[in-house]
Amino acid sequence: MLTDGAVVAVVVLGVVAVIAGIAVFVVDSMARATFALLASFLAVAGVFLVLDLTYLAVVTALMMTIEMAIMVVFMIMFMMNPAGLMPMTMVHNARGSAAVGAAVFAVITVAVWTVDWPPRAGTPPEDSTRQLGEAIMGSDMLVMIVIGVGLFATMVAGTVLATHRGRYDRFGADLDASRPDDPVRGGMPR
């Protein structure tokens, strides 16, 4: 059973998650939308933490933070405007998407309150975090490790590609632009 403080925290974090989720579609740039989405997911991670679902809270926080960092790097790298900060519309077919969103929200809300949920069978495990981790990753641990390395390599490669440094820029002090035989700073080799 949740204490009164935990209930208040869940409600406050839920409101923050919803407001930040709405901000994703209200702000006028990709970068701001990315950070609003990150705030929404971190609030959801906070809800998991209050509900004593530590594993889900940590996984949500880590995955979403890394995902949003990758999105920002790719925005800096590939967008025509600097870092996606130029004003732009974030919603296409605003009326249609709002109608679909409201309909889906209504259906899910009605389903949550009207479905006859089955009662819990058995007792909760001693360590629900361990049981959940084993249930999710059991035979797929190698896959998750490879995906983690792949995500890290993507972040490093995206960051390297997003910078404007050239191959020789880190040695800039060693190169002499006055030398005509320096192919990087001067003329062509003789």
Q: What is the DSSP letter of 172?
A: G
User: For the chain, what is the domain count?
Assistant: 2
Both tokens assigned to 159: 């960051």
Regarding whether 83 and 14 lie in a shared domain, the answer is: yes
Q: What is the DSSP letter of 75?
A: H
Is the CB of residue 135 less than 8 Å from the CB of residue 61? no
Last residue of a domain, one of 90, 113, 136: 113
**Distance (Å, whole) CA 63 – CA 121:** 31
Is the CB of residue 127 less than 8 Å from the CB of residue 62? no
For residue 161, give its domain range: 128-190
Q: What is the pLDDT of residues 171-184, one digit of tens each?
A: 555 555 555 555 55
Both tokens assigned to 74: 């790719």
pTM score > 0.85 for this model? no
Regarding whether 85 and 46 lie in a shared domain, the answer is: yes
What single letter denotes the amino acid at residue 32?
R
> Within a domain: residue 78?
yes
pLDDT of residue 32: 83
Higher local confidence (pLDDT), 129 or 111: 111
Regarding whether 9 and 96 lie in a shared domain, the answer is: yes
Q: What is the pLDDT of residues 124-155, one digit of tens each?
A: 778 877 777 777 777 777 777 788 888 888 88
Regarding whether 82 and 38 lie in a shared domain, the answer is: yes
> Within a domain: residue 122?
no
- The 10 Å CB-count burial string (b at 16+, else e) for 158-179 is beeeeeeeeeeeeeeeeeeeee
Regarding whether 28 and 103 lie in a shared domain, the answer is: yes
Average of per-residue pLDDT values in the chain: 79
pLDDT of residue 82: 64
- The 10 Å CB-count burial string (b at 16+, else e) for 102-131 is eeeeeeeeeeeeeeeeeeeeeeeeeeeeee
> Within a domain: residue 154?
yes
pLDDT of residue 105: 94
Last residue of a domain, one of 84, 113, 142: 113
Helix (H, G, I), strand (E, B) or coil at 27: coil
Helices (H), the chain: 4-26, 30-50, 54-78, 94-114, 128-137, 141-162
